[in-house]
Amino acid sequence: MAVQPPHIRDLCNLGYATDCPHLPATRDWDAVRFSVASSSTEQITLSYVCELGHAPLEYGTLSYDLRGEAWQHAPKDPRVNRLATSYLHAYRARHQPSVPESDLANS
């Protein structure tokens, strides 16, 4: 099914997409949100919150070792791991432009 731009704009793109017909009726979370808690030349620490019904269900911090190019303690849930890694890549692309794209792809 081809999704039209108005469909994405009106139902799926912003906030809680409860009217989106593609949203599973049963899901663990409605949203997973990230923010940078701290950043240094050695590590970046992210805070995350997994929400359902506008309330936090799970939350924590994740630290990424910049020298070893790896999570110090990888998120247990592979979905959080994938989303955290994507968030980290976007953050590093904006704030550490000297990091080669190949290094970001390998982390």
Is a pLDDT exceeding 70 seen at residue 98?
no
Is a pLDDT exceeding 60 seen at residue 102?
no
Q: What is the pLDDT of residue 20?
A: 75
pLDDT in tens, 3-58: 567 766 666 655 666 777 777 888 899 889 999 999 999 999 999 999 988 899 99
Over residues 89-103, mean pLDDT? 74
DSSP for 34-101 reads EEEEEE-SSEEEEEEEEEETTEEEEEEEEEEETTTTEESS--SSHHHHHHHHHHHHHHHHHH-TTS-H
Q: What is the pTM of this model?
A: 0.74
Q: What is the pLDDT of residue 42?
A: 95
**Domain-wise residue ranges, the chain:** 28-105
